[in-house]
Amino acid sequence: MKYFEDIAVGERASLGHHTFTAEEIKSFAAQFDPQPFHMDEAAAAASPYGALMASGWHTIALWMRHAMRYRQAEDEAARARGEPLAELGPSPGFRDLKWLKPVYVGDTITFASEVVELRPSKSRPKWGLMFSRNTGTNQAGDLVISFIGSALVERRPGG
């Protein structure tokens, strides 16, 4: 992670993509969102969605996986260059999550994150607050998920 002072509003990262399979859609749903249109092709075909679709909670969990892998690869590259790494603190939460389109079997979702706001934490001088607009977009270019995430990012020591 870069230090808070080195991040700019408008910075955008493409976090990678994922193609959803029927098996993983059903497996996630069985664990966390056991609704028929996430678990059974025939029930989904008879539903308003018309075909098996991923739980929205599955899509957002995969956004997180891609964001973390991206962050870890960035950190490794910075470490290899001998650069100091800022600490990424806990996320206080997020807001305005929208599930905009269904995600069907075979859909490829590309995940991204764009910094939309930066402000120092008033109560915790070690940290800055970074807000990002986080998205998933399908192969047709349609946004399927969007939310405003927040994270604490370490400020430059003595900065």
Cα distances (Å, whole numbers) of residue 122 to 2, 60, 125, 126, 145: 20, 29, 6, 10, 31
Q: Is 116 in the site for its own copies (CB under 8 A)?
A: no
Q: Is 72 in the site for its own copies (CB under 8 A)?
A: yes
d(CA 52, CA 126): 46
Q: Is 90 in the site for its own copies (CB under 8 A)?
A: yes
Q: Is 23 in the site for its own copies (CB under 8 A)?
A: no
Closer by beta carbon to its own copies, 2 or else 149: 149
Position among 32, 50, 76, 106 found at the interface with its own copies (CB under 8 A):
32
d(CA 102, CA 58): 12
d(CA 129, CA 4): 8
User: Minimum distance between the CB of residue 147 and its own copies, rounded to whole angstroms?
Assistant: 8
Contact (CB, 8 A) for 45 and 51: yes
Closer by beta carbon to its own copies, 9 or else 73: 73
User: Minimum distance between the CB of residue 76 and its own copies, rounded to whole angstroms?
Assistant: 13
Cα distances (Å, whole numbers) of residue 125 to 2, 74, 93: 17, 25, 19
Q: For binding to its own copies (CB under 8 A), which residues are involved?
A: 31-35, 48, 55-57, 60-62, 64-65, 68-69, 72, 89-99, 147
